Amino acid sequence: MATIKDIAHEAGVSAATVSRVLNNDQSLAVSPDTRNRIFSIAKQLGYKPSRLRQLKQNKERAGKTVSLLLWCSIEEERDDPYYASIRRGIELRCEELGLTLGQTLRGRSSISTLQKTDGLIVVGGVDPEEVIKLHPDKNSIVLVDQYHEQLEYDSVRLHFRQAVDQALGHLIELGHRQIGFIGGKSDGERRAHYFERFMREQGLYNPQFVRVGAWSTADGYLMMNNLLTEQQRPTACFVASDPLAIGALRALHGHGIRVPEDMAVVGFDDIEMAAFVQPPLTTVRAYPEEMGKAAVQLLSERFEGREPPSHSVIGTRLVIRESSCRNG
């Protein structure tokens, strides 16, 4: 029978890392690729976890209901697959762990309709104090896509600073100094914040190159058209989601601006369509489905008795395609 040491040897990581991954320790700073590779090797080698441990965990989870509060509208979820992927991850992990998915609520107006539930996953920029009034057990609330260090909630968030640094570092390495930003408005949105922070640190921030609006592809088109009215144009643009970037590419094409020769474009998410637009989109690959799965795992650990809050940070990876190239 395969052991943890066998898996560690094949994966090229320590036995301690394998043990924590297989036990779904969401506080472990390991990339989704490494995590998935460990699970894949464990399956190939026929690794079987302790039967007694499994029985204990299944008993503690039995009959538990998880409800979901989404801080985005149906239209926003349709326009940006990021939120749909988080929800899909939540649904898949609930099914894997035998948890019942209860209510799915949207927006501030729906909070008052929250019914009794064993656990609550909140996705987006909701004020946690609003939720705690209706679901007082903070140990069974997980915040996704936000983080409040002063509050004792479990949380899962994307490493947005890493993501923005990857995108802008790539553009600067290519020789770009006049870099624009197109993004959407939402509570707790971090991409615009880290864009400004990075560019100011480099002495390159220009507020005339920043456009912020809604999150749809059509809004990306409109914002890029507006950005192009500036007398001085950026040579590159970081766009906060792939749907926005696809709209921006359409606007650039309509103005006869070549991508990447006249303007490089970097998106965010790495949705399926990003590889098929023209030119194929350089983008930051996020792992929103993993975020959803991690949120359910944190709740499951609470059901099994964990008390200290845990904060999971999901890393990102830059995927370089043809929409970015060296400036000059």
Q: Enter the DSSP assignment of 114.
A: P
pLDDT for 113 equals 62
Q: What mean pLDDT is reported for the chain?
A: 85
For the residues 280-290, what does the mean pLDDT come to? Answer: 95
Superfamily per CATH, domain 160-286:
Response regulator (3.40.50.2300)
Residue 52: predicted pLDDT:
41
pLDDT single digits (tens) 197-232: 999 999 999 999 999 998 899 999 999 999 999 999
142, 153, 76, 74 alpha-carbon torsion, rounded to 10°: 50
> Where in the chain is CATH 3.40.50.2300?
160-286
Range list for CATH 1.10.260.40 in the chain: 1-49
Amino acid letter, residue 142: V
DSSP structural state of residue 149: T
Q: CB-based contacts of 287: which residues, under 8 Å, 6+ apart?
A: 32, 158, 314, 315, 316
What residues does 313 pair with on adjacent strands? 157
The tens digit of pLDDT for each residue in 67-97 reads 888 877 777 777 778 888 999 999 999 988 8
Residue 186's CB: how many other CB atoms inside 10 A?
A: 20
| Residue 55 pLDDT > 60 | no
Cα angle 31, 32, 34 (rounded to 5 degrees) comes to 65
pLDDT of res. 190: 87
Percent of residues, the chain, with pLDDT higher than 90: 46
**What is the structure's pLDDT at 328?**
53
- Torsion sign (Cα): 225, 231, 240, 69: negative
Report the distance separating Cα 68 and Cα 70, nearest Å: 6
Q: What pLDDT is recorded for position 26?
A: 59
Q: CA of 127: how far to CAs of 47, 110, 259, in Å? A: 42, 14, 40
pLDDT given for residue 56 in this prediction: 45
Of residues 3 and 113, more confidently modeled: 3
Cβ within 8 Å of residue 206, ≥6 positions away: 178, 199, 234
Q: CATH for 1-49, among 3.40.50.620, 3.30.470.20, 1.10.260.40, 3.40.630.30?
A: 1.10.260.40
> What is the reported pLDDT for 27?
57
